[in-house]
């Protein structure tokens, strides 16, 4: 549905979309020369980070790039659209503090993305500003359900246990939640709070009812199409970073207010 919204937003501005499946930065680097053979007006890159080499290749043909869901791309001279993840992380810390939790942990799947780092950075900095002990941080190396379960075993299997955990995405959070309940017998949210990010459909299903952060995906898609059109109109324009506010969706994995 999100991709359909982006295609519609592009068509409303007179563009037609060519879609390519890209998994990571290496596969993006390999496919960009092929894409440029189609003499495209511009590139929108979602899943993979954009390297300086890719920017240079596209600059040589005057092809603008907009990075979707990525922070910190302006330093490369390209535009980007993302949710304000640092503010979202800070908001999660505020919520947990207000509900009486005091020992925080952050579970990250990957450490390379500036976007995902921003979530943890906002969370950690806000916890420090609230006067709490340093946030325990766990880097799982992947964002799977199984990785969330392993993170639960690691963080909950030693003392002092955290009493509130913020996960980089919902899939990690669901794995962590099941591990906390099934392997440690913890009551969520009385003994432990768990918060995710993305608000995937499973987050709202029983038995999870996960408290999470929702990104304004449709608005991000509209902004992406707008920035691409602007870059085409202003061939020599500078890159612009657009950060959109998120929404905290409260369900059953944090104590009620």
HEC string for 161-214: CCCEEEECCHHHHHHHHHHHHHHHCCCCCCCCEEECCCCCHHHHCCCCCCEEEE
Torsions phi, psi of 58, nearest 5? -70, -35
Write down the pTM of the prediction: 0.89
Q: For residue 45, what pLDDT band results from cuts at 50, 70 and 90?
A: confident
**Average pLDDT of the residues in 212-224:** 94
Q: What domains are defined for the chain?
A: 2-83+215-245 (3.40.50.2300), 85-214 (3.40.50.2300)
Q: For residue 47, what pLDDT band results from cuts at 50, 70 and 90?
A: low
- Would the pLDDT of 219 be above 70? yes
Residues 229, 9 contacting (CB under 8 angstroms): no
Residue 142 and residue 256: Cα distance in Å, rounded? 31
Please report which helix (H) or strand (E) contains residue 241, including its range: strand 241-244
Burial 12-26 (b: 16+ CB within 10 A, else e): eeebeeeeeebeebe
pLDDT in tens, 148-186: 999 999 999 999 999 999 999 999 999 999 999 999 999
- Would the pLDDT of 256 be above 70? yes
**Average pLDDT of the residues in 237-251:** 90
What rounded mean pLDDT belongs to the chain? 90
- Would the pLDDT of 72 be above 80? no
- Would the pLDDT of 187 be above 60? yes
- DSSP letter at 224 equals H
Supply the pLDDT for residue 230. Answer: 86
Supply the pLDDT for residue 115. Answer: 55
Supply the pLDDT for residue 236. Answer: 56
Between 42 and 234, where is the model more confident? 42
- Bridge-partner residues for 222, per DSSP? none
């Amino acid at each position: 549905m999100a991709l359909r919204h982006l295609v519609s937003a592009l068509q409303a501005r007179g563009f037609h979309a060519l879609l390519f499946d890209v998994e990571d930065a290496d596969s993006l680097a390999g496919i960009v020369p092929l894409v440029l053979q189609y003499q495209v007006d511009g590139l929108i890159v979602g899943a993979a980070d954009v390297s300086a080499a890719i920017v240079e290749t596209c600059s040589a043909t005057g092809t603008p790039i907009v990075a979707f869901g990525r922070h910190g791309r302006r330093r490369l001279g390209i535009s980007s659209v993302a949710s304000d993840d640092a503010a979202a992380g800070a908001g999660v810390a505020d919520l947990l503090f207000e509900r009486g939790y005091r020992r925080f942990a952050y579970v990250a799947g990957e450490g390379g993305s500036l976007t995902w780092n921003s979530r943890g950075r906002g969370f950690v900095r806000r916890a420090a500003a609230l006067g709490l002990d340093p946030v325990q941080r766990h880097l799982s190396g992947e964002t799977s359900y199984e990785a969330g379960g392993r993170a639960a075993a690691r963080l909950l299997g030693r003392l002092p246990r955290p009493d509130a955990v913020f996960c980089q995405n919902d899939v990690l959070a669901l794995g962590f939640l099941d591990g906390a309940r099934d392997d440690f017998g913890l009551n969520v949210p009385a003994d432990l709070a768990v918060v995710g990010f993305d608000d995937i459909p499973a987050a709202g299903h029983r038995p999870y009812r996960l408290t999470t952060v929702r990104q304004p995906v449709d608005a991000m898609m509209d902004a992406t199409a707008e920035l691409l059109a602007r870059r085409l109109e202003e061939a020599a324009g500078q890159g612009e970073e657009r950060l959109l506010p998120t929404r905290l969706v409260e369900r059953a994995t944090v104590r009620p207010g």
